[in-house]
């Protein structure tokens, strides 16, 4: 029998790892979520604040980060090497030990080798997980509609609205003081962002967020329409311009939402991507996502224009609006 070369051993470890992708990838990136056959998580290497651009296919092992053209690979050995910032040989040896393959170190004879890749079983496992995720989305949608129906128009004195110096517009509020921001998809209310009296935010657990958005104002043919990240940013833009605004809720959602709006409203609208300026974050993901959304939809793009004395912690249109309303109006 011909002795395996190091590259052949690494490749075989990658095949064994793929058979265990549904266990290994969530183990490495535990704050992610599965969407169809992909695991979507924060890129811990570049300090992502939120999931969206970093995706791993559990069927093939291929992975990439849409926000970083240098972050991509074809298998789980390469992924682990990237996450550990080590060589692929070191990553393969770690996986070899983790899985008990015995390719780089003598395997304990009492430990059976990992099973060969069974694509059919892997597909079944992924389908089961997708079914479970779909059931969670449906339960969250039901809860969102129940909360919305039982709530009342929001109180303008809510701590979050006071902090952001905004009127409530069409938001609603529960009896225990939680603001509700509606998230729609395909004409349905599918989730809500909940903001409690301490200004902490969360979406309904298991609810759909990707591709969803919240709207301020009425979208009409040939209108000027802005797409932005958060609701407070959108509310500031809507109040300032009078134009309809679609809030994608996260930077990673900008492109998908902008594409939906372009398909829905056509080329007659003046579509403008209003991006955040994450100038204190490496790679400025706010700008990166905004530029990608604009390029995909042939839209214009705008960012906050900072006065010379604006503090560095300001990153979006609402930050600038609040700062100026507090009396900081120098150019």
User: What is the domain partition of the chain in residue ranges?
Assistant: 6-117, 213-331
Higher pLDDT, 146 or 15: 146
d(CA 189, CA 170): 14
The correct CATH number of 213-331 out of 3.30.2310, 2.160.10, 3.40.1360, 1.10.238 is 3.40.1360
Residue 119: what pLDDT?
Answer: 59
Structure tokens at 126: 């992924």
Which DSSP category does 183 fall into?
E
Structure tokens at 270: 């003046």
CA distance readout (Å), 311 to 91, 168, 172, 314: 43, 27, 32, 6
Full-model pTM: 0.71
The secondary element (H helix, E strand) that includes residue 315 is none
Residue 59 has pLDDT above 90, yes or no: no
Q: In what order do the strands lie in the sheet with 201-203?
A: 152-153, 172-173, 179-185, 188-195, 201-203
Q: 191-198 long-range contacts, Cβ below 8 Å, gap at least 24?
A: 191/140, 191/141, 191/144, 192/144, 192/147, 192/148, 193/231, 193/249, 195/158, 195/160, 197/158, 197/159, 198/159
Architecture of domain 6-117: Alpha-Beta Complex (3.90)
Name the band, by pLDDT with cuts 50, 70 and 90, for residue 315.
very high
CB burial class (10 A; 0-12, 13-18, 19+) of residue 102?
Answer: middle
Q: What percent of the chain has pLDDT over 90?
A: 55
Name the band, by pLDDT with cuts 50, 70 and 90, for residue 35.
confident
The secondary element (H helix, E strand) that includes residue 113 is none
Q: What percent of the chain has pLDDT over 70?
A: 90
């Amino acid at each position: 029998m011909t002795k395996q070369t190091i590259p052949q051993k690494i490749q075989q470890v990658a095949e064994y790892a793929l058979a265990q992708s549904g266990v290994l990838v969530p183990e490495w990136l535990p704050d992610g979520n599965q969407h169809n056959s992909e695991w979507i998580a924060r890129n811990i290497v570049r300090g992502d604040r939120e999931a969206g651009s970093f995706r791993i296919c559990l069927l093939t092992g291929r992975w990439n980060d849409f926000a970083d053209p240098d972050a991509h690979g074809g298998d789980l050995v390469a992924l682990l090497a990237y996450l550990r910032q080590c060589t692929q040989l070191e990553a393969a040896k770690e996986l070899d030990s983790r899985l008990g393959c015995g390719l780089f170190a003598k395997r304990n004879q009492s430990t059976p080798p990992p099973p060969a890749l069974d694509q059919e079983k892997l597909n079944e496992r992924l389908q089961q997980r997708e079914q479970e995720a779909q059931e969670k989305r449906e339960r969250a949608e039901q809860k969102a509609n129940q909360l919305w129906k039982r709530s009342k128009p929001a109180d303008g004195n809510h701590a979050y609205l006071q902090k952001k110096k905004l009127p409530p517009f069409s938001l609603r509020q529960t009896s225990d003081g939680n603001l509700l921001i509606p998230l729609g998809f395909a004409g349905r209310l599918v989730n809500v962002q909940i903001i409690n009296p301490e200004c902490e935010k969360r979406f309904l657990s298991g609810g759909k967020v990707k591709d969803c958005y919240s709207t301020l104002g009425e979208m009409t043919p040939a209108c000027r329409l802005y797409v932005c990240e958060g609701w407070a940013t959108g509310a500031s833009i809507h109040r300032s311009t009078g134009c309809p605004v679609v809030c994608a809720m996260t930077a990673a959602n900008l492109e998908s939402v902008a594409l939906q709006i372009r398909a829905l409203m056509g080329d007659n609208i003046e579509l403008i991507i209003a991006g955040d300026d994450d100038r204190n974050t490496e790679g400025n993901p706010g700008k990166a996502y905004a530029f990608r959304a604009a390029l995909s939809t042939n839209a214009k793009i705008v960012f906050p224009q900072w006065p010379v004395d604006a503090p560095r912690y300001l990153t979006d249109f609402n930050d600038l609006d609040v700062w100026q309303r507090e009396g900081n109006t120098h150019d």
